[in-house]
Structure 1
Amino acid sequence: MKALSIRQPWAWLIVNGHKDIENRQWRTHYRGKILVHAAKKMTREEHAVAAAMAAEQGVTIPAYDDLERGGIVGEVEIVDCVDVDPSPWFIGQWGFVLKDAKPQPLMPCNGKLGFFHVGKEAA
């Protein structure tokens, strides 16, 4: 199954259904379910920026040390790829429009750039 590595707390926001678009500098023609991989790296500054943006949407994210990293944390469906979107989360050149997010317990695994394949045990 395809997976996409996303830094925390953005991965948490996605799998918990708060963030409906993933910003990228590249477009995709892929449509369908993907696994969300929470990257190992996250700075305190990234956490603070995301927390402020989430607060504007009425969402409180977990504390820095409470966010799981370094593995699959859920799944979501990519239903479109757009260059303009009214979502308050859209800030990028391209946005992967997301639906049907579901968190899952952390399954440790290494991430990669772009889409990558993960075994069926993660799905």
Structure 2
Amino acid sequence: MTTVYSEPLALLPILALSVRQPWAHAIVKGWKDIENRKWNTSQRGLVCIHASAFIRSNFDSDLDDYSDVVSERITPGEHPVPSTLMAKDLDFGAIVGVARIVDVTMRHSSPWFFGKYGFVLTDQQILAEPIPVKGALGFFDWRPRKIVAPEPSARPATAQGSLF
């Protein structure tokens, strides 16, 4: 079940965790309840989920892995999880939602667990609009990394006059 983040954006957690797509999407949609990592953490609580930048080779590989997990491990009808996702339907290089880390485990019954360490997630929520942010490794303070769109010109540019 997808839950939309309803708090003011100013209340978003300071720390973010960058996750490649389509895994980030699966987290914030509430399907994926474990984030697999090779490293442990003492971090607990609500964190922002950052969808990393688009890299074709990474996305193609991760999409294949995602499809394998869904087809081999997710019981049909148990969760409305699509077996494949399209890059055009996903956000990249942005904070896309939040999730609460409640534990870290090396064993779990979740069909999404296949890492050395699994960050156990609850309270997954998707943002109504993604926030463009340059990612980083590990947990990072995303606010100084926010990508600000240039301000539109206050007045329209005048057309260049005749060159001749």
8 Å Cα contact 1:4/1:37 also seen in 2: yes
Q: Does 1:94 align with 2:94?
A: no
Match of 2:47 in 1: 34
Name the counterpart of 2:158. Answer: none
Which structure has more relative contact order (CA 8 Å, sep 6+)? It is 1
Higher strand proportion: 1
Note if 1:107 corresponds to 2:131.
Answer: yes
Distance 2:98 2:71 in 1: 23
Counterparts of 2:114 and 2:68, CA distance in 1:
15
Aligned length: 121
CA positional deviation for 1:35? 0.2
1:48-89 residue CA offsets vs partner (Å, 9 max, x unmatched): 221232244241043122111001000000000111111111
Percent identical residues: 41
Whether 2:82 is the aligned partner of 1:69: answer: no
For residues 1-41 of structure 1, what are the alpha-carbon distances to aligned partners after superposition, in whole Å with 9 as ceiling and x for unaligned? Answer: 11000000000000000000000011011110000000013
Look up the SS of the partner of 2:27 in the other structure: helix
**Structure 1 moving runs of 4+ over 3 Å:** none
Give the TM-score of the pair, scaled to structure 1: 0.90
The match for 2:63 is 47
Residue pair 1:71, 1:109 contacting (<8 A) in 2 also: yes
Q: Which runs of 5+ in 2 are unaligned?
A: 1-13, 147-164
**More divergent stretch after superposition (42-51 vs 63-72):** 42-51
Question: Who is 2:18 aligned against?
Answer: 5
Counterpart residue number, 2:107? 84
Tell me the TM-score normalized by structure 2. Answer: 0.69
User: One-letter code of the match for 2:39?
Assistant: W
